Structure 1
């Protein structure tokens, strides 16, 4: 499971060093193979292990292409999906098209989300995080599926 917030610097070639605490898990579960794609709602990237992505892509492909919303999701998620592989130094090269979409420059944030990571520009993440924190204080309405959760 991937969790936590990890500040990372991209090098001049667009490579990010995967934090050490994730490397062994990635090496054993998918031999260092990952897939990155765009988030359809936020200017960030989603990154999955190859086996996890294969399940998601299969589900996306099963959706009807006649529905304009599902077709949009298929085009965006699968169309932007890019295979990545950890190099010998534990780095992943993020392609320029994905870096441009997510406005990734030198300082980025790797956000663990259980079965996937989100990759944000540091500035975008700080703005988004603050908006989420402020948003949660407005209406106090808790979705029904969360009401039985005890923290």
Structure 2
């Protein structure tokens, strides 16, 4: 569904223009919304509402007595924000989430199949360099399905 990386500007009011390629793939039926939530990697995840509902169902199924599961639910659900796209194709990022991800003026919007990640552009570029230098294909070999896709 979503793929590619687009560099966009965050305006002074905290609005972010969704790239046209991503907007084309959003379910824009009446009342369709988007959901922003923090990602543990210190970026934001932007989900179409139907995709977010699937995530909530999975989170609901996690054991409530598991400390890690409770923390993940608190981070993702407790900080989730519903947003609408305005007539110019922009969304308003809540300041709390902008601060969490360290978003400044330049933002990288990164397609991740069912969601869009929103990164500070400098952080994104730095992380990409780090990941390129540290990918170990052999580590993926233990997952036969994943390894067969790329090997």
Q: One fold, TM greater than 0.5?
A: yes
Range moving further from structure 2, 7-16 or 53-62: 53-62
Shift of the 148–140 alpha-carbon distance from structure 1 to 2, 3 Å rule, reads closer
**Cα distance per residue 1:51-86 (max 9 Å; x no partner):** 100111111012111100100101001011110110
Structure 2 residue aligned with 1:26: 26
What RMSD, in angstroms, separates the aligned Cα atoms of the two structures? 1.8
The 8 Å contact of residues 30 and 51 in structure 1, kept in 2 or not, is answered as no
- Structure 1 residues 29, 56: CA separation in 2 closer, same or farther (over 3 Å shift)? farther
Q: Which runs of 5+ in 2 are unaligned?
A: none
| Contact map agreement 2:2 2:22 (CA 8 A) in 1 | yes
Equivalence map 1:32-47=2 (5 Å)? 32-40=32-40, 42-47=41-46
Note if 1:141 corresponds to 2:139: yes
> What TM-score, normalized to structure 2?
0.91
Aligned match of 1:89 = 88
Taking structure 1 as reference, are residues 140 and 56 closer, same or farther at Cα in structure 2, changes over 3 Å only?
same
Q: How does 1:1-151 map to 2 (within 5 A)?
A: 1-28=1-28, 31-40=31-40, 42-136=41-135, 140-145=138-143, 146-150=146-150
C-alpha contact 1:8 1:107 (8 A) present in aligned 2: yes
Q: TM-score, normalised by structure 1?
A: 0.91
CA contact under 8 A between 1:36 and 1:46: conserved in structure 2? yes
Q: Which runs of 5+ in 1 are unaligned?
A: none
Q: How far is the alpha carbon of 1:127 from its aligned partner?
A: 1.1
Kindly tell me the number of residue pairs found equivalent between the two proteins: 149
